[in-house]
Structure 1
Amino acid sequence: MTRQAALSPVTRETLQERVYAELKRSLMHGMFDAGEMLRIQDIAARLQTSTMPVREALGRLVSEQALEALPSRSMRVPLIDRERLEDLARARCLIEGQLVSLALPRLSAKDFGQLRSLTHACEAAFESDESVRAHRSSELNHAFHFYIYRAADSAVLIPIVESLWLQSGPYVRAAARIHDQSRDLSATHFHWALIEALERGDQAAALEALTEDITRSFNLIRARLDAPETKAAGYG
């Protein structure tokens, strides 16, 4: 058997994975509104690909609860509702808190320096042009948290957290808009508190800072859920 004969075609599989990764990234970073419709033909045109890899990627995201399938064969970003909000907030605090606890004794001075750099970059992103602010700040926020979580070295917990972040995308987008209006604490306030607690080896303070950081977005939305004017903006 020649080397060429031993190789199997991977083009279609690779394309599907690329489409899936792009859609997953966009959803996780809150690039779609709650309730937004995703049509296969539209996405295929935007990604300059055929409909097949898009259909397969969307089906995979439905199975991961990041999207909802509708009778019209369209997919929808899930609506925001109180029950799902509370469930996601609770799950994220539990799982991410466990990862922070596991990571704490593994982090070094070099790691804290990297976490500070990511936080400074995140602050700069929040002050940047509106056209790139949401995307860039979300990517840096993800990089900050997952830098810590990967230090925990848990092959089981990391995929769970990725799934929870994927489902949290619409909430991240909605909370970012509310934060822009409220301007209470800085967006990176609890990142700094978390870094300081980790440096001290203070597990209780680290978990408190993490919980405040996670629940802050959900609290902003919770306060708006009953307002009549938000019902038409993807809130259930």
Structure 2
Amino acid sequence: MTLADKAYAALRHDIIRGALPAGMPLRMADLSARYEMGFSPLREALNRLQSERLVDALALKGFTVAETSQAEMQDAVAQRILIETEALRGAIARGGDGWATGLVAALYALKLQINRADDIWELEARHHAFHRQLLVGCGSNWLMEFFERLYSATERYRIPILLESGRDQGRDLHHEHESLAEAALERNADLACSLLVAHYRRTETTIMAQMAAKAAVSAGPRGPKLRDAG
């Protein structure tokens, strides 16, 4: 890895897990001290993160961590569904033996880590690998690039839930992934796309509930104001 790659990986990791919170100014001197790197690789990493919409560049103010919102999260999920269902149909139509074998292997690797659930970052790596393998058979570099960008956009909403709870509550995630893989391998595009949409909508509902709960806690109790008795 180049220094810029290392800077990108470190910054992205801290943004995704919330160590660098939304709206935080990313001053070069502070980042250089935090990551023990020079300005050049950090600036290159920040430009790369800006292209993924994880940081914003403001005129005369430098970089800040991109804000989060329910509306932005819902938009990202909606676009993932649009892009990934198209890619999934292409993969089912054109994916060969290598794609199918890779999907079986990715599902098995994900199952092993879900059962362990002792390393959130390894689980996330295998989760990404599964969803990428599901689509890669489409043969479109543009669709896969959009997949990567939108995956990053939703990851920063999903990861805090995993970090707080260890896994999504009340869901059999292996069954969801297994059903999705089976439908794809059986070349049933309509069923596979339907399962993919349901999978993302369940995650969206979980994230919305989590964000609403945090907003309620931040707002604090707001009971009726007492008037003066005088």
Normalised to the residue count of structure 2, the TM-score between the two structures is: 0.77
Structure 1 residue 230, shift from structure 2 partner: 5.6
Structure 1, unaligned runs of 5 or more:
1-13
1:75 aligns with 2:61: no
Query: 2:201 — aligned with what?
Result: 215
* Correspondence for 1:172 among 158, 180, 191: 158
Q: Which moved more, 1:113-122 or 1:160-169?
A: 113-122
- What amino acid maps onto 1:220 in structure 2? T
| Count of equivalent residues | 216
- What amino acid maps onto 2:67 in structure 1? P
Query: 1:227 — aligned with what?
Result: 213
1:116 aligns with 2:104: yes
- What amino acid maps onto 1:68 in structure 2? D
Structure 1 residue 77, shift from structure 2 partner: 4.3
Aligned equivalents of 1:36, 1:124: Cα separation in 2: 36
Query: 1:90 — aligned with what?
Result: 78
Q: Once the two structures are superposed, what CA deviation does each residue of 1:146-203 show, in whole Å capped at 9, x if it has no partner?
A: 1122211102211112111122221121342566476312223221111110122111
Structure 2, unaligned runs of 5 or more:
220-230
Query: 1:3 — aligned with what?
Result: none
Query: 2:134 — aligned with what?
Result: 148
Conserved 8 A contact 1:171-1:218: no
Aligned equivalents of 1:232, 1:57: Cα separation in 2: 32
Q: 1:204 to 1:228 in 2, by over 3 A?
A: same
Query: 2:122 — aligned with what?
Result: 136
Conserved 8 A contact 1:32-1:77: no
Aligned equivalents of 1:193, 1:212: Cα separation in 2: 11
Query: 2:87 — aligned with what?
Result: 99
Query: 1:49 — aligned with what?
Result: 37
Aligned equivalents of 2:183, 2:167: Cα separation in 1: 29
Aligned equivalents of 1:155, 1:181: Cα separation in 2: 31
Conserved 8 A contact 2:46-2:63: no
Q: Once the two structures are superposed, what CA deviation does each residue of 1:20-44 show, in whole Å capped at 9, x if it has no partner?
A: 35545x379x333652745534543
Map residues 172-211 of structure 1 onto 2, 5 A cutoff.
Answer: 172-177=158-163, 180=166, 183-211=169-197
* Correspondence for 1:35 among 15, 19, 22: 22
Secondary structure of the corresponding residue to residue 49 of structure 1: coil
Larger Rg: 2
Secondary structure of the corresponding residue to residue 68 of structure 1: strand
Q: Once the two structures are superposed, what CA deviation does each residue of 1:42-78 show, in whole Å capped at 9, x if it has no partner?
A: 5434543212221232134224321234786452242
Q: Once the two structures are superposed, what CA deviation does each residue of 1:112-139 show, in whole Å capped at 9, x if it has no partner?
A: 3432332232233234364xx2111111
- What amino acid maps onto 1:201 in structure 2? R
- What amino acid maps onto 2:136 in structure 1? R
Aligned equivalents of 1:170, 1:56: Cα separation in 2: 21
Query: 2:222 — aligned with what?
Result: none
